[in-house]
Amino acid sequence: MQKIDLNNKTIFVTGAAGFVASNLVKRLFKDVKGATVIGIDNMNDYYDVTLKEYRLNKLNTTVPEGISWQFVKGDVADKQTIDDIFKTCQPQVVVHLAAQAGVRYSITNPDAYIMSNIIGFYNILEACRHYPVEHLVYASSSSVYGGNKKVPFSTEDRVDNPVSLYAATKKSNELFAHCYSKLYDIPTTGLRFFTVYGPAGRPDMAYFDFTNKLLKGETIPLFNYGNCRRDLTYVDDTVEAVFRVMQGALEHKKGDDGLPIAPYAVYNVGGGHPENLFDFLKILEEELVRAGVLPSDFDLDAHKELVPMQPGDVPTTYADTTALEQAYGFTPKIPLREGLRQFAEWYKDYYF
């Protein structure tokens, strides 16, 4: 493993106004000295833009002394924009978290996924080829496991049967990364995220969407008749994993043929403990009541509706994180109740 000291480095973070990326930038502000951090985000309206502006404002108003922060409003699918950033700033570490997210949205709006997740990632790889970087870390997804019935999911499993276009684009990212690692000796590390949640998260995620529906008195559809389990990862745990991975890339080595051995790796980033949908919903309700978002006499059962599985979804996600723990010493720390408590308290403060 090649150790990378992030202090005094130029670090490029894509999707910087997004959920995970904004929290990563905040972590860089806290624990990296003398760095130049460049963020990019197109601020699209896939979900409420004011939430992205809220995250971005938090960053703009908390830049510590000794850190240079620059935000670019732009799209990773715009090759000229990406080339200009690399040419001007010459980042040494790149964390590519920009993507069009969402399994269901990919069924009805495939163009957005091809542009952002395929063309955008290609632009990042090409820039890393022409302006060599020490490490490219990028977001993949647990969705690549598709209908895999073997649990827990391991990075050694075959992932050739995606059940959504979103999953297919993320698997494509991994294939592209391996190709560029092999051909151009670029250290790349992909991280398969498992359902990241927490304060100021994405409103299309179940915990956030359920909260909005419960507050409005609407019914919550429980897909697969409630027989779903999800491996949830609190955002601070996810950021800790990304932060550690940034600091260690596979070393440059050559094979017997004299050509580079691809400095390529992929890891799962998950809680390692899938939660039953009913248990998850009960804890969420209790924490929303505790925070004062819902009344103490709220009747959760009256707001449940059992419905069939929807296209593109899977019944269970479950991460085997052994490889990540062995390589980087990372294990998640935040239990579900604590994480949902942080979300509920933020929700009360933000919306009330």
Mean pLDDT (the chain, rounded)? 95
Q: Among this protein's residues, is 166 annotated catalytic?
A: yes
Say how far apart CA 229 and CA 161 lie, in whole Å: 20
- How confident is the model at residue 312, as a pLDDT? 64
pTM for the structure as a whole:
0.96
pLDDT at 210 over 80: yes
* Sequence-ordered list of residues with C-beta below 8 angstroms from that of 283, at least 6 positions apart, any chain: 336, 337, 340
pLDDT at 341 over 90: yes
Question: What would the two tokens of residue 260 be?
Answer: 């580079």
The 10s digit of each residue's pLDDT in 15-30 is 999 999 999 999 999 9
Amino acid at 27: R
The 10s digit of each residue's pLDDT in 140-198 is 999 999 878 888 999 999 999 899 999 999 999 999 999 999 999 999 999 999 999 99
The 10s digit of each residue's pLDDT in 37-67 is 999 999 999 999 999 999 999 999 999 999 9
Exactly one of 46, 105, 113, 166 is catalytic; which is it?
Answer: 166
The 10s digit of each residue's pLDDT in 248-302 is 999 999 988 888 899 999 999 999 888 999 899 999 999 999 999 999 999 999 9
